[in-house]
Structure 1
Amino acid sequence: MRESLRVDSGDDRVVVTLARPEVRNAIDQDMIDGLHEVCAELEERPRTLILTGSGGVFASGADIAQLRERRAPDARRGINSAAFQRIHALPMPVIAAIDGYALGGGAELAYAADLRIGTPRVKIGNPETGLGIIAAAGATWRLPEIAGHARAAELLLTGRILDAAEAVAWGVLSSLHDPEDLLPAAHALADRIAANDPLATRHTKTALAAPADAHPAIELELQAELFESPEKERRMTAFLERRAR
């Protein structure tokens, strides 16, 4: 795996640590290429993904030195956007464990996760317009879903950075943990996910990601498949047997 990422693969989860602490984990092309490699592995063998950063920072943004040199064809390629969309579309849940700065592309990587937790040191937001660009890797459509249109508009149009308490109040983060407890808290979420039926978890994520006009038909089809699953029979039988004791 690439130097810009540390990858720890387990039976039911993969932990990916952004590892460019000397530049506050700025997201460069090598890191994007590494994230694509991780996605290929998880598409082939679905497991929960935990994303975190090294050195007390999640990701301070895209690598400005590289970004400054990019031109219109690079923008149309969607370099970061394609990677973050692939992360968001992974079959199993994605957990972002955020400490310190999550700015610009770093914030957009966090928005691509299904679950986001943080520390009291979190600073998250999108200052792109101050650099003469827009947040084009997911913020303009994911952030309204997460925080609501009015709040997303305020963040994206002003470049305001939320502190940890504001991020929780706005629904950008679901909980806060001391820095030393952040990764254990992410693993606790992954443990709870792992205790459930993987297929039911995957189908729940599929339903959550479906467009509004796909409901309720998509739930009915997914549920129909699960109703025929041997795992559903096994788990419900075990529940009834426990209750009867």
Structure 2
Amino acid sequence: MIRINSIFNKKNVKLISDHLNKRYFSSTTTTAPTGTVSGECTLEKLTGENEGISVISFNRGHVKNAIGKNLLKELRQHLHTLRFDSTTRVTIIRSVVDGVFCSGADLKERATFTPVEVSQFVYDIRSSFTEIETLPMPVIAAVEGVALGGGTEMILACDFRIASKSVKLGLPETGLAIIPGAGGTQRLPRLIGLARAKELIYTGAVLDSQRALDIGLIEYQTDVGKAFERSLELAKQIIPKGPIAIRMAKQAIDKGINVDIQSGMIIEQACYAQVIPTKDRVEGLTAFKEKRKPLYKGE
């Protein structure tokens, strides 16, 4: 699998998605400088009918994609790349390890840390999930299998959560005499409500996909092995829309939800002002008049 960490050593490659046994990748990619890539976390840009979609994949199977220092380093490199990549309109986060999305932090590795190193590491995870949450484009979590602790906290930072019937979700940290430390205590109640979030965190309950769907923890439930495919379908519904408009809509919603409605109206007005001078807005009006599909360039 091709790793993309930076903008060096360009070469043409064709990638086949083993996950769905379908051809999704065929693009010009870039490889990181020697010494920075291990393959625990990869970034791929799709082409063809999926152009505009980038995919972050976890591949640390021997520890069920537990988040260690190296995986976290690679993830943050990819998030930095995406933040400044104007060609990516939707990002999907998934696992290529069967039966697991992310089992949380690597507790065996953490056991070797000093208390200061633990604090630093938890801070880095929390910051990384905030980077996911604040990416300028929509982010979809395609979840198969186990996503506990930090795995659940990661998908909470995404815009959408699509999970197969194989998933196990939850925040079991209180059973280890700690609390969710990567945003779980803040994002979960905002998503599913205060009382339900408290129940899940206090009890450390593990949910199946149906229960997660019922309480609004996930948006879509799929058959096993179909979460990534369904994520692609959702992404392709977003891609034809104006990319600047999508970015501004995300900002308006995410910033406005945590303030009173009058302040939210001011945020919306400021975001709307950003789309008025764009070429895409003119293209949208012109296409409407000419009864054709608009061709947005993000300008």
Instruction: Please give the TM-score of this superposition, normalised by the length of structure 1.
Output: 0.94
Residue number among 121, 133, 136 corresponding to 2:181 in the alignment = 136
Confirm or deny that 1:229 pairs with 2:278. yes
Partner SS, residue 291 of structure 2:
helix
Residue of 45, 50, 69 corresponding to 2:85: 45
Counterpart in 2 of 1:61? 104
Residues 122-174 of structure 1, C-alpha deviations (whole Å, 9 max, x = no match): 11001011112110101000001111111110011110111100100111111
Paired AA for residue 64 in structure 1: L
Larger mean Cα displacement after TM superposition, 114-123 or 206-215: 206-215
For 1:170 and 1:67, the matched residues in 2 are separated by: 32
Question: In the TM superposition, what is the alpha-carbon distance from 1:183 to its structure 2 partner?
Answer: 1.2
Unaligned runs of 5+ in 1: none
How far the C-alpha of 1:75 sits from its partner, in A, is 4.3
Q: Relative contact order: is structure 1 or structure 2 higher (C-alpha 8 Å, sep ≥ 6)? A: 1
Q: Secondary structure at the match of 2:275?
A: helix
Aligned to 1:192: 237
Q: 51, 61, 64: which one pairs with 1:21? A: 61
**Corresponding residue for 1:242?**
291
Cα displacement string for residues 103-139 of structure 1 (whole angstroms, at most 9, x for unaligned residues): 0011111111111000011110010111121101010
Counterpart pick for 2:269 among 209, 220, 226: 220
**Residue 7 of structure 1: how far off its partner (Å):** 2.2
Confirm or deny that 1:5 pairs with 2:49. Answer: no
Change in Cα spacing, 1:114 to 1:241, as seen in structure 2 (3 Å) is: same
The 1-side partners of 2:56 and 2:146 are apart by 17
Higher helix proportion, which one? 1
1:124-163 counterparts in 2 under 5 A? 124-163=169-208
- C-alpha contact 1:124 1:161 (8 A) present in aligned 2: yes
Which whole-Å deviations, capped at 9, do the CAs of 1:161-207 have from their partners, x for residues lacking one? Answer: 11100100111111111233221111111111111110000001111
**1:34 paired residue number:** 74
Letter in structure 2 aligned against 1:24: K
Deviations along 1:201-224, whole A, 9 cap, x unmatched?
A: 000111121031441101111112
Classify the secondary structure of the residue corresponding to 1:212: coil
Residues 24 and 55, structure 1, Cα contact 8 Å, conserved in 2:
no
Q: Does structure 1 conserve the Cα–Cα contact (< 8 Å) formed by 2:144 and 2:225?
A: no
SS in 1 for 2:216: coil
| Alignment pair present for 1:70 and 2:113 | yes
Q: Aligned partners of 2:289 and 2:224: how far apart in 1?
A: 41
Q: Separation in 2 of the partners of 1:49 and 1:96? A: 9
2: CA distance, partners of 1:208 / 1:75: 33
Q: Deviations over 1:61-90 (max 9, x none)?
A: 111102223343234430211111111111
**Normalization by structure 2: what TM-score?**
0.77
Aligned Cα RMSD in Å? 1.6
**C-alpha contact 1:60 1:106 (8 A) present in aligned 2:** yes
For these two proteins, the number of residue pairs brought into alignment is: 243
Segments of structure 2 that go 5 or more residues without pairing to the other structure are 1-36, 293-299
Task: Give me the whole-angstrom Cα distance separating, in 2, the residues matched to 1:239 and 1:184.
Answer: 31
Asked whether 1:178 is paired with 2:227, we answer no
SS at match of 2:230: helix
- Maintained 8 Å contact 2:110/2:118: no
Q: Distance in 2 between matches of 1:176 and 1:69?
A: 38
Specify the SS of the correspondent of 2:101: coil
Determine helix, strand or coil for the equivalent of 1:110.
helix
Q: 2:137 touches 2:246 (CA, 8 Å); kept in 1?
A: yes
Counterpart AA for 1:201: I
1:27 is displaced (CA, Å) by 1.2
